[in-house]
C-alpha cells in the first residue's frame, strides 16, 4: 500500500444546497503552486467524484453532511486521503501535493506487478431494504490477461456496517474471471449505509486500497428515496436495447434484444422505477482500468498466496499437545476426495485448491513409523488473521423521506426455496460421565468383545467373519459395509448401517469410520441387523455400536474418537426465481410486486446469434429500467440502459 503523503493545496468551500453539501476546491502543486488539471477528487466509498479543470478547480455536489474521507489523485503525484467533517459552514483546507518518488523495487516485486488483478461488483439495485436479496456479479480485470488462468480462483465479498463491523462474509468461486453471488439480508438488519468489500487474498500484495469498495444503503422499511432531478439521472441509450413494443401490460412477457452487443460476458438487471429510484452509482466503465503506477513492498504479516480453491492451514498435535511430523490422510465425508501428505517437523500443513460448497466434514488419520498403523492426536485448524478495517463511513448521498406504507414487498416465489425461518429453540443435555453405557436401545443381536477380534490395526478388517450377515467389501472406495438383508434396498438410498460410538451417532461413511478406529481403543461391539425404529430413519439398515475402553486417550471429547473437522466451503448462490405466467401450473393468486423484475448474471446468445432474454411483467404499472453491464472479449467495459413502460 502506498504511504500517504500530505499532498496538495486544496481549498475547500462548503455550501448547503437542498439539505446536502456542495464541495468546491482547487488542487495545485506544492513545489510550484501551479494548478493541477485532470486531478481526480473522490469521496471514499461513495459513487461521487470530480475532475479538476485547467485551473485545478473542481466541484462535488450532493455530499452528505458529517464525516467522510476524500481521496485526491493526480498522475505524477503521490495521492492523499484526508478526513473532513462537512457541516453547515464554509471551510478552507490547504494541503500540499508532493511529486511522487517511486522506490526502486527488487526484481521479485517488479515481476509481481505483472500479476495484478482488480475486482468490480455489479448489484441488481443501488439500495435495499431488510429481508431482500442482494444479487451480485463480479468481474475481475487482469493487468496481463494471459495470466488469468494462473491467478486467483477465490473471491471474498464482505458487508460491513457503518461502525466498520463485519456483518456478512461470502467466499465465492471464481471461474474465468467471473462469478455470481447473493446475500440474503436479515429481516431485522439495522438501517444505514453499509460498505461492500471484495478482494482476493493475492490482492493483499498491492495494498488494501486496491480492493473493491461500494456503498450498499439499507433503508428502513418506511424510508423512501426522493427522486433526483433529470439533470442528475443517468442518460439512457435506448438505441442499444430493443423490445418488440414500447409499452406492455401487466403479467405480459417481454423479450429484450441487444443487437449491437459484441461478444463478451454480461449481466442484465430490470428494476421497477417506482420502487427503485435511480441514484448515482459506481460505474464499471469509469473504474475498470488499472490506475497508473506500480505497487510498493507488500505489507508484512499477510499471506500472499494465490488461492486455487478452498484453502486451510492446520497443525497436527500429539496426545501430549506437541506438534509432530506425521503422514496425514484426509477423507471427505462422501469419500469423493482423499488427500495424503506429510506435515512438517512441527506438525504444520496447508491444503489449497479444494472446491466444495457449504460445509463439509473431513475425517483424518495420522500414521507414523514404518508400520504406519499408529493413530494418535488431533488436527487443530488455524484461522486467517484478517486485518480489521477502520473506515469513516459517510451517510447517504441522496435524500429520503418517511412514507406511510412499506416500500418493498417480497413475493413468496422470490424467497430461496432452501431457506426456512425457524423459531429459536434451546437444547439442553447432560453429559454422560465415564463408560456406563446402556447399549443399543431395543437390545443387540450380537455382542463381540475386543479380545475375540483379530487385531489388524483397524476395526473394520477385524470384523470380517465375526458378525453373521455383515458384508464387508473393500473392492470399492470407500469400503462397502452392509447387512445381508439390506441388499434388497433401493439402489437410490444408502444401505449402510448407523455407527454409534459410546451411544453417539457418527456421520459419514461406515467403512471410513470403522477403518479410522484403532481396535486397541475398543472394549466391545454391539450389533443389531434389524430395522431399529428407535433411531429413526437412520436405523433402517441396522446398528453397529462401538464402546471404548476407559483412558484410551488423553482427550475426552467424542469428536476425538472419530477424528474429524468441519470446513466451510464456497457459498452457494441462490437462483433468481421469477414467475412464468404462460405456465398453467403457475400460482396466479400470489400478488406480484417485484422491485427487481429480472436478474440474469449470465446473458446468453440465442440461435439467431443475438444476445436476448425474456421475463414477465409484474402487477405494478409504471416504468422499468433495463440495465446491462459487462466486459467484451477484448476486455472493454460496456454499460447500456433503457426504459420500458408498463400499463394497466
Task: State how far the Cα of 147 lies from the Cα of 306, in Å rounded to an integer.
Answer: 12
In angstroms, rounded to a whole number, what is the distance separating the alpha carbons of residues 203 and 70?
22
Closest CA to 285 of 633, 634, 630: 630
Q: Is the pLDDT of residue 487 over 60?
A: no
pLDDT reported for residue 621: 94
pLDDT at position 103, please? Answer: 66
**Residue 328's pLDDT is what?**
87
B/e letters for 363-381, b = 16+ CB within 10 Å, e = fewer, are bbbbbbeeeeeebbbbbee
pLDDT at 207: 81
pLDDT at 292 over 60: yes
Region 148-175 average pLDDT: 93
- Mean pLDDT over 139-159 rounds to 92
Locate 123 and state its grid cell. 448489484
pLDDT of residue 432: 42
**Rounded alpha-carbon distances, angstroms, from residue 77 to 110, 135, 324:** 20, 38, 52
Whether residue 507 is predicted with pLDDT greater than 80 in this model: the reply is no
**What percentage of the chain has pLDDT greater than the value 90?**
40
Task: Give the residue range(s) of CATH 2.170.130.10 domains in the chain.
Answer: 446-549
Least reliable range by pLDDT among 63-72, 103-112, 433-442: 433-442
Inform me whether the pLDDT recorded for 93 exceeds 50. yes
CATH architecture, domain defined by 111-292+391-411+591-646: Sandwich (2.60)
pLDDT band at 413 (very low <50, low <70, confident <90, very high): low
Average pLDDT along the chain:
82
* Beta-bridge mates of residue 638: 630
DSSP designation for 306: P
Residue 567 bridge partners (DSSP): 360
**What span, in angstroms and rounded, lies between the C-alpha atoms of 379 and 356?**
20
pLDDT number for residue 88: 64
C-alpha–C-alpha distance, residues 213 and 210, integer Å: 9
Cell of 560: 476425538
- Domain 446-549 is in which class? mainly beta
Fold of 9-86: Immunoglobulin-like (2.60.40)
Please tell me what DSSP assigns to residue 532.
-
Q: Residue 301 pLDDT > 50, yes or no?
A: no
194: phi > 0 → left, psi -120 to 50 → alpha, else beta; which? beta
Lowest-confidence region among 296-310, 328-342, 531-545, 610-624: 296-310
**Per-residue pLDDT, 633:** 93
The ranges of the chain annotated as CATH 2.60.40.10 are 9-86
Per-residue pLDDT, averaged over 587-610, amounts to 90
d(CA 451, CA 453): 6
Determine the pLDDT at residue 5. Answer: 40
488 pLDDT band, cuts 50/70/90, is low
More confident residue, 376 or 610: 610
Render pLDDT for 527-552 as a digit per residue (tens, 0 to 9): 998 888 777 777 888 899 988 877 55
431 confidence band (pLDDT: 50, 70, 90): very low
CATH 2.60.40.1930 domain residues, the chain = 111-292+391-411+591-646
Contact 150, 111 (CB under 8 A): no
pLDDT at residue number 635: 94
Phi, psi of 625, rounded to the nearest 5 degrees: -100, 120
Of the listed ranges 208-217, 334-343, 410-419, the least confidently predicted one is 410-419
Amino acid at each position: 500500500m502506498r504511504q500517504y503523503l500530505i499532498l496538495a493545496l486544496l481549498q475547500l468551500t462548503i455550501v448547503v444546497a437542498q439539505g446536502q453539501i456542495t464541495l468546491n476546491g482547487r488542487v495545485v502543486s506544492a513545489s510550484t503552486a501551479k494548478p493541477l488539471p485532470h486531478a481526480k477528487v473522490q469521496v471514499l466509498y461513495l459513487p461521487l467524484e470530480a475532475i479538476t479543470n485547467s485551473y485545478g478547480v473542481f466541484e462535488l455536489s450532493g455530499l452528505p453532511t458529517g464525516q467522510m474521507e476524500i481521496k485526491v489523485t493526480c498522475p505524477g503525484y503521490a495521492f492523499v486521503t484526508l478526513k473532513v467533517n462537512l457541516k453547515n459552514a464554509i471551510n478552507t483546507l490547504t494541503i500540499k501535493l508532493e511529486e511522487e518518488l517511486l522506490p526502486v523495487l527488487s526484481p521479485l516485486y517488479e515481476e509481481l506487478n505483472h500479476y495484478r488483478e482488480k475486482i468490480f461488483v455489479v448489484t441488481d439495485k443501488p439500495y435495499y431494504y431488510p429481508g431482500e436479496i442482494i444479487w451480485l456479479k463480479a468481474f475481475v480485470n487482469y493487468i496481463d490477461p494471459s495470466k488469468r488462468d494462473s491467478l486467483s480462483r477465490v473471491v471474498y465479498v464482505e458487508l460491513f456496517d457503518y461502525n466498520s463491523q463485519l456483518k456478512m462474509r461470502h467466499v465465492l468461486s471464481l471461474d474465468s474471471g467471473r462469478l455470481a453471488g447473493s446475500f440474503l439480508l436479515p429481516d431485522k438488519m439495522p438501517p444505514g449505509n453499509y460498505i461492500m468489500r471484495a478482494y482476493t487474498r493475492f490482492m493483499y500484495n498491492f495494498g488494501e486500497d486496491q480492493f473493491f469498495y461500494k456503498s450498499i444503503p439499507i433503508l428502513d422499511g418506511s424510508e423512501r428515496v426522493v427522486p433526483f432531478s433529470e439533470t442528475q439521472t443517468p442518460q439512457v441509450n435506448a438505441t442499444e436495447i430493443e423490445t418488440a413494443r414500447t409499452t406492455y401490460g401487466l403479467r405480459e412477457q417481454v423479450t429484450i434484444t441487444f443487437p449491437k452487443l459484441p461478444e463478451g460476458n454480461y449481466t442484465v438487471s430490470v428494476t421497477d422505477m417506482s420502487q427503485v429510484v435511480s441514484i448515482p452509482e459506481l460505474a464499471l466503465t469509469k473504474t475498470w482500468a488499472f490506475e497508473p503506477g506500480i505497487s510498493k513492498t507488500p505489507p508484512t504479516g499477510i499471506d500472499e498466496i494465490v488461492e486455487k480453491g478452498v484453502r486451510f492451514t492446520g497443525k497436527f498435535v500429539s496426545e501430549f499437545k506437541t506438534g509432530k511430523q506425521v503422514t496425514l490422510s484426509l477423507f471427505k465425508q462422501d469419500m469423493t476426495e482423499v488427500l495424503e501428505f506429510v506435515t512438517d517437523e512441527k506438525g504444520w500443513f496447508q491444503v489449497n485448491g479444494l472446491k466444495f460448497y457449504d460445509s463439509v466434514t473431513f475425517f483424518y488419520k495420522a500414521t507414523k513409523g514404518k508400520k504406519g498403523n499408529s493413530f494418535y492426536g488431533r488436527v487443530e485448524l488455524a484461522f486467517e488473521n484478517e486485518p480489521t478495517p477502520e473506515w469513516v463511513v459517510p451517510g447517504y448521498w441522496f435524500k429520503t423521506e418517511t412514507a406511510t406504507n412499506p416500500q418493498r414487498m417480497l413475493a413468496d416465489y422470490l424467497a430461496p426455496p432452501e431457506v426456512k425461518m425457524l423459531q429459536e429453540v434451546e437444547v439442553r443435555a447432560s453429559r454422560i460421565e465415564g463408560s456406563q453405557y446402556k447399549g443399543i436401545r431395543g437390545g443387540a443381536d450380537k455382542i463381540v468383545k475386543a479380545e475375540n477380534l483379530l487385531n489388524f490395526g483397524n476395526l473394520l478388517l477385524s470384523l470380517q467373519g465375526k458378525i453373521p450377515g455383515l458384508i464387508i467389501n473393500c473392492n470399492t472406495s470407500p469400503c462397502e459395509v452392509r447387512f445381508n438383508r439390506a441388499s434388497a434396498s433401493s439402489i437410490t438410498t444408502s444401505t449402510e448401517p448407523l455407527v454409534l460410538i459410546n451411544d453417539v451417532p457418527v456421520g459419514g461413511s461406515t467403512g471410513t469410520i470403522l477403518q479410522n478406529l484403532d481396535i486397541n481403543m475398543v472394549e466391545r461391539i454391539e450389533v443389531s441387523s434389524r430395522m431399529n425404529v428407535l433411531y429413526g430413519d437412520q436405523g433402517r439398515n441396522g446398528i453397529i455400536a462401538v464402546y471404548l475402553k476407559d483412558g484410551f486417550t488423553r482427550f475426552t471429547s467424542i469428536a476425538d474418537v472419530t477424528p474429524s473437522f468441519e470446513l466451510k466451503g464456497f457459498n452457494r448462490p441462490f437462483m433468481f426465481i421469477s414467475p412464468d405466467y404462460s405456465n398453467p401450473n403457475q400460482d396466479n393468486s400470489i400478488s406480484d410486486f417485484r422491485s427487481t423484475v429480472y436478474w440474469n448474471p449470465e446473458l446468453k446468445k440465442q440461435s439467431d446469434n443475438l444476445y436476448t432474454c425474456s421475463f414477465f411483467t409484474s402487477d405494478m404499472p409504471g416504468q422499468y429500467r433495463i440495465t446491462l453491464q459487462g466486459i467484451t472479449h477484448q476486455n472493454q467495459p460496456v454499460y447500456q440502459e433503457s426504459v420500458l413502460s408498463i400499463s394497466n
